[in-house]
Each structure stands twice: as structure tokens, then as C-alpha cells.
Structure 1
Amino acid sequence: MIDTEQVYFDNVAKGYQEMETGSAPVRRYVEAYTALKLAYPLEGKSVLDVACSDGFFSRLLKRGGARMVTGIDLSPQMIELALAAEQVEQLGIEYRVGNILGNVEPGQYDLVYSSFVLSYAKDPEELVAMCRALYRQLKPGGLLISMNDNPDMLKDSVEGFRKYGKTKQIEPDLVDGATITVTWEANDGAGQIKSFSFDCRYYAGKTLVWAMEQAGFTDVRIHQAEVSPEGLEKFGAEFWKLFLQHPLLVFITGGKGEGA
């Protein structure tokens, strides 16, 4: 039986393979900076990176001081990209193919990091199921950091956003389950700008918070994405003005109680 989700993300992996998404301003100076800021301090912590794709955030968190990092993704092609990077840098990260809703055993991690995992829930019920699966990976006292599409972003975040390396467009409107078309535009490593697109789903902020609380998370908070001082210095405040007025993404955190 063909796993249609796996095939879909294997095709997305081809886009990652053809370009350096890590060089895109939004990834390098916003996503990476805010993720690390929320994750610190990392020293001595065990981390699970869910939907790790090519391992960008797994490497970021390991370099940031995590004791142990495991990356999982349901796409074998994505894991191949992550393993290839591990062979070069040899950070000691473990990568494996796995679906958080299926074949991943409950864990005991200090920190679970997820990149847009919740954006692929088919409906609110599956959204809760995903949150419960993430919750089960945490040890008591652990923290989830989930990067998500901004519930308050513009319906059409294309014009003026290409310079950041990523655009998003929502159809038909900002309602739960609406389609978000995400397009990456980044250097291919040979001086050429390439792009690839894929779809995910929109969920309102109150829906995301509700789903996490239903799963058992406490102290659920939505955090605005921030631009690093390095990014501000390199490009200037005017460059980031549109993005900061209408961010493409937010981070949501939630804890697992000490007695859970």
C-alpha cells in the first residue's frame, strides 16, 4: 500500500535538495533565532525534532548545546538529506523515519520541537491527536516548542514577501482547514534562485491553543517571531518592516506538568 503522505513529502524533499533553504533570510534570521531563544538553556537536555525535514533545526539545537537530539520525519528522502548533512558535520544526531501519529513510541524528552507539524492536521480532531502524540514524547516538566503559520497573517502574503525567501497564500479565507500554499525561494548553491511550493492547512490561534490544552499541555502561549540582531544589522530595519507587521509564522509553547 502506498503511503500518500510519504510520497507527498518525498516530493517536497526534492525541493529542499535543490536549494539552500537555510540561507533564506526568514529561516536564518527569524525562524532559527526565535527557536533558539525559546529553547535556551539547552545544556544537558534531550531533544526530539518532529518533522525534522533536512535536519536544519536538529543541527541548530545540537549546536546550541543540547546533550542529545533525535530527528524524525515520515519522508525517507528527507531523512536521507539529514543523514548526508550529519556525515559532513558529525554532530552525533540520530535520524530515523517515523510518523508521530503512527509508529513512534512514547518518549522521555526534555524538549520536543516541531516545525509546522500542526499545519498538516486534516481537521480539528486530528489536530488534537497530533498534540497528544507530541505530549506523549515529553517527560514530566518538559516543553513543546511548535513553529506554526501565523493565525493573523495576511491572506495573501506574496507581494513584498519574496525577499524573505518564503511566501504564503490562503484560500479561500482565514478559516480552519483553509489551504495555505507555501513557496520557498532560495539560492541553489550555484548562484541561481529556485523555488518550490507545497500546501498545508490554516488553523486559528484559538483552535491551536484549544487543541494543545485538550492534549494536556499547560501554560500554552503564542509567541511572535523575532528578527535577530544580526539580521537587522545585515538588511536594515526597513527590509524587515513588512514581515514584522505581518509575520508569516508564530511559535506556540506548552508544558507537561511535573506530575503528569
Structure 2
Amino acid sequence: MKIIHKKADSFMQSLIDENRIRTRKIGPGDDQEEKTRTMINSMLSLQESEPNYYTDEIIKGMILTLLSAGTDTSAATIEWAMSLLLNHLAVLKKARAEVNNYVGNDRLVDEPDLAKLPYIQSIVNETQRLYPVAPLLAPHESSDDTTIGGYHVPRQTMLIVNVWAIHRDPKVWDNPTSFKPERFEGLMEGGHEAYNYKFVPFGLGRRACPSTGLANRVMGLALAALIQCFEWERISKEEVDMSQGTGITMPKAKPLEARCKSRHSMSTLLSQL
């Protein structure tokens, strides 16, 4: 473990040093700096104004948190989403039409496009509803005696929220086991309040996951790019197995296998990457 820690620490320090040197070469206020700005750049900027709160050690801790908590969960959600789309080709077709209409084939989809791709975000939300990668949220503790739903909860009781059960509760959701991204349409236009307390893949309140915005952008952008660039199909006529695995997160029991090929309309652009 000490050897692994030393290697990880050295790698993360190299990322910090690399970004620090690049920022000095480009110079503050340069347009190129804005185009290549990373999270590490942002934290290094904060280091200048608050050196005691943004030491290299703290920045490395944040990098480690992002890598450990943000990669496996996002990748698993994208895998669930692609599996659902391969079992619901009409939804895949509708998503591709949205990307084609707004982004087209002359450039790759980019983060600023996501605000104009509400159906892509609806697919991400519906995937997280049906297959939340954190089906049981992190344990909480009641600070005082209270009553919830008729149950007395003593002070200092460990509380674990069953997100999976909430997201599939027929008393809360219409046809809860069906994959219907349309149920989230309007969410991006200010309808989020309607889903409070029943759509909680990241938790709620002060103890909610701090990377909700980042995760949704990463998953939405990755999914949009996969749909924009490739044609997808199942490896057989049978539907993709949607059995759920076990672990700290909830992966697919059987990893997704699918066929893909670059879309003819994207071949020229992809060949230039």
C-alpha cells in the first residue's frame, strides 16, 4: 500500500506541476489559458488567493476523490444507459435525431451543447432512476429523536436511504419498471421541484453528492458522443441482459457487449482525430 501510495502521489503531483508550468508559460488572461483550463488550473488559482486552504496536498486529495468516486460510477451509468438504448431502439433513434438536429455532423458534440439536448439528459436521468449506481446512499445519523412516516427514530440511529426502492415505488412513479425518458421532459425548464424526494440518485440537502453537476455533464456528453459518432446494435436478437450485480456500486452482472461502427456521416471528422 505504501508503494502504491507513493506512485499515486507522484503521478498527481506531476499533474499539478504540469498545469502550474503551463499556466506560467501562457500567462493569466490569455485566451489560450481559458481554452485549456482544467480543474487543477482552477484549484491552483485558488491556491494563490487562499494558500492555506489549497495546498498541493489538498489538491491531490481532491484529485484522488474525483478519480475514485467519479470514474467507476459514471462509467457504470453510461454502460447501463447504452444497454437500455439497445433494448429500446426507438429511444436511441429519437436521441440520435436530437443530436443530429442541433449539433450536426461537421463537429463533435461539446459540453455547451448539453443545454440544447434535453432528451439526452432525460435518458441519463431515467437510467439513474432505474439503475442507480449507488442504490444505498452513504449512511446518515439522526441528530435528534424524530418520527418519520409513523416510525419513531431515536437519536443517533444509523439511517440508510434505499434509492433503488424509492425509484421503483409504484406509489411514486407511474409504470416504474418501464424505461420512459419522456417522464423527465421539462426537467431542464425548471420542473426539477416535481422530482424532489423521489428522484435522489445523488442524495439531497447538505450531504448530497457535491459532484452532481459534473457527473451529469460527463455522462450526458459521453452518451451524446457515442450516439453521434457510432451506429450501435446488439450482438444477437436477444435483448441485452439487464441483471444487476453487487458491490459498493451497482454494476451490470454481465458486462455489456455490443457491435458498433462509425457512422458514415462522421467518418471524415473521426478520421481527423
> TM-score with structure 2 length normalisation?
0.24
Larger fraction in strand: 1
Which is higher, the Rg of structure 1 or of structure 2?
2
Structure with the higher helix share, 1 or 2? 2
TM-score, structure 1 as length reference: 0.25
